[in-house]
């Protein structure tokens, strides 16, 4: 994968260099009404692409952070649900144990009552 990334970056840089060699004439850039400066067309376009790449990266990071926050909330909700279910399981286990002990105690009391009657 690293080699594929290297080839892609190399091709893009080579294209930018060839583009820069062909477009060296000065072009004015007007930022505000009275502020303007001149630079080669290739530099202006490379700068514009760089700004676009940085903005795309910032958007990507922002989206990833939002996704992490949503996943964190989901994890907290699921952990709370798991704890509640574990608590229910413990409660039901205790209840089953009580039910197992109660019939045994009832059958013992019935046999002792039968022994007293006879």
The two tokens of residue 8 are: 């892609």
pLDDT at 115: 56
Instruction: Give the DSSP letter of residue 27.
Output: E
Which helix (H) or strand (E) is 113 found in, with range? helix 41-117
pLDDT at 7: 93
* Cα Rg of the chain (Å, integer): 38
pLDDT at 110: 56
Is the full-model pTM beyond 0.85? no
Q: How far is CA 40 from CA 20, 29, 37, 47, 114, in A?
A: 8, 10, 10, 11, 111
């Amino acid at each position: 994968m690293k080699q594929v990334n290297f080839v892609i970056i190399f091709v893009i840089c080579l294209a930018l260099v060839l583009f820069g060699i062909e477009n060296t004439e000065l072009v004015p850039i007007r930022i505000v009404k009275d502020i303007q400066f001149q630079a080669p067309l290739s530099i202006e376009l490379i700068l514009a692409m760089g700004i676009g790449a940085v903005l795309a990266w910032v958007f990507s990071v922002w989206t990833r952070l939002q996704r992490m926050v949503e996943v964190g909330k989901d994890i907290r909700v699921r952990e709370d649900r798991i704890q509640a279910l574990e608590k229910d399981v413990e409660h039901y286990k205790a209840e089953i144990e009580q039910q197992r002990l109660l019939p045994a105690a009832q059958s013992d009391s019935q046999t002792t009552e039968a022994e007293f009657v006879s």
